[in-house]
Structure 1
């Protein structure tokens, strides 16, 4: 089984290192100093007090790696559409694309059934780049839970978590999803196959679409924004609006809003990924995490006034920083 990790940053590097440790035939697509360090010194993974280094095939040009059985995409959501063409040398007739990207996935309405079957989402797939370039029949969904960071080029530090939930768009337990789950399990990762992966997508998105922009706007850590009465109420209203959108689409939430916010507070003084991107001068995942929910509000004719307000504010904040076009 040939597995390529496209976007071998923190999460992709962690995943690649675990697969390499298990002896899987894994390769990485990376770039810049990180790629140079991996080629020269190998990919190092720090877990607790232990550091292990693995020799892993890595390239910037996917054509050097050849056709794969699985391509696991771990880029930021806005980075994927522009590189669909670049990814084509990895894709053969039987290749599966595993979408391990935050936010509402581009394939969301594939095999969902009902009147919205096949609906496209412009916020996450402008111009249908992925829908047409990959084809929705190739896709497996994946909800990524681990936290990791690149501490220096070629070195990834695992912080917490090891779950990569998998799911077919139609909820079936296909041979390809079971085979990938088994391969990830052999690498010491949890990879449950979910019949209702969209529910899990929304529970993760619930926090990301509210905590991230509020954090970037206020520079507050999770413990602060989840306990301050004002920002907690903004997050709560955003979540309730998103819940109404999701439930209109048939999603079932296993927890309520207050418990979800309390869970965010329990994480502690964490700086969200959107705040980290703002501070680092990197483009933020605004459209995938928040714009997509607004778009789905339009699709389902569900008002999203608080989401609309926060989205306008974070877009302008990003434009002022030169990080959003």
Structure 2
């Protein structure tokens, strides 16, 4: 198998770098300054145990620059709002020997949220989900920091909408040999819905940061956001993993470790704002709960507000953490 990592940011860069280090054939796909840095200087990957090293992983800036092979695995690690456009472009590409990528190649959605697999299945015949627990940072072109040890992450994988086959078993084996714990499970979306509930706090972190006064009250708002999420998933009959299951899987396999000069300041939504992105995943995180709430007739006022705030921050180019906890609390509806 050759792994084509579409979106070599924090998650994609770590997965691609680790696969490359373990001897798996890997190609990174990136855009703009990040692509140019990867092309010209390689991937600078930093981890707690190994420090910083430069990996000469091949890099391209899109599907037109990479002849596709029948043994390719497309690992999608772009943000959810970019999924449809990116997969339409890749799916239309020919594969050596005849046929199109959408008909022949597997695509693995290594992303937050739960809509990506459904979008992918409109275009690709073989779709797989990946529940990503991988604290990592990508702020500067060509550089990725993976903050956990002894393993870099937990990547639970499975076929979408359900099941396990030989393809995903081989992918799991390769990931497990590359500094990840990667169980192949028949119910991967149950794990992804559990991760969705945790990601509802991303918007809070993005707008007020992790420090400062009022953080205890802010954490209570995160609890309320999760409670709304659990209520609408339950009403919709959607199964989700719970924190106890996650803790059992994580065990001592991965813990965030200090890295001198590479402090983890925020998660994926925080990083999007820090890089100046004008879109975020919030429409597919808090917005997913808002959607399900409207479909089931349940109110989701906390997630509604968090979605609007995070989207507004990106659209206006506001810096992450530029709202105070007091200002956020003043906007919140009473419980």
TM-score by length of 1: 0.78
Q: Does 1:240 align with 2:230?
A: no
SS of 1:85's partner is: helix
Q: Does 1:221 align with 2:210?
A: yes
Q: Does 1:66 align with 2:67?
A: yes
Q: Does 1:186 align with 2:186?
A: no
Q: Kindly state the Cα deviation for residue 18 of structure 1 after the two structures are TM-superposed.
A: 1.2
Q: Kindly state the Cα deviation for residue 6 of structure 1 after the two structures are TM-superposed.
A: 0.3
Which residue pairs with 2:114 in the alignment?
A: 104
Structural RMSD (CA): 2.9
Which residue pairs with 1:34 in the alignment?
A: 34
Instruction: Measure, in 2, the Cα distance between the counterparts of 1:34 and 1:144.
Output: 22
Instruction: Measure, in 2, the Cα distance between the counterparts of 1:207 and 1:78.
Output: 19
Question: Could you report, residue by residue, the CA deviation over 1:206-228 in whole angstroms, capped at 9, with x for unpaired residues?
Answer: 1211x2222333x2317977x51
TM-score by length of 2: 0.76
Instruction: Measure, in 1, the Cα distance between the counterparts of 2:270 and 2:57.
Output: 31
Question: Could you report, residue by residue, the CA deviation over 1:102-121 in whole angstroms, capped at 9, with x for unpaired residues?
Answer: 1122335xxxxxxxxxxxxx
Q: Which runs of 5+ in 1 are unaligned?
A: 109-124, 260-265
With over 3 angstroms needed to count, the CA separation of the structure-2 counterparts of 1:222 and 1:146, relative to structure 1, is farther
Question: Could you report, residue by residue, the CA deviation over 1:300-319 in whole angstroms, capped at 9, with x for unpaired residues?
Answer: 34332332233334444444
With over 3 angstroms needed to count, the CA separation of the structure-2 counterparts of 1:61 and 1:173, relative to structure 1, is closer
- Which shifted more, 302-311 or 312-321? 312-321
SS of 1:307's partner is: helix
Q: Name the count of aligned residue pairs.
A: 289
Instruction: Measure, in 2, the Cα distance between the counterparts of 1:20 and 1:309.
Output: 41
Task: Provide runs of 4+ in structure 1 moved above 6 Å.
Answer: 222-225, 266-269
Instruction: Measure, in 1, the Cα distance between the counterparts of 2:294 and 2:39.
Output: 47
Which residue pairs with 2:103 in the alignment?
A: 93
SS of 1:271's partner is: coil
Q: Does 1:205 align with 2:200?
A: no
Q: Kindly state the Cα deviation for residue 46 of structure 1 after the two structures are TM-superposed.
A: 2.0
Q: Does 1:303 align with 2:306?
A: no
Q: Which runs of 5+ in 2 are unaligned?
A: 96-100, 248-254, 257-262, 320-335
Instruction: Measure, in 1, the Cα distance between the counterparts of 2:309 and 2:203.
Output: 9
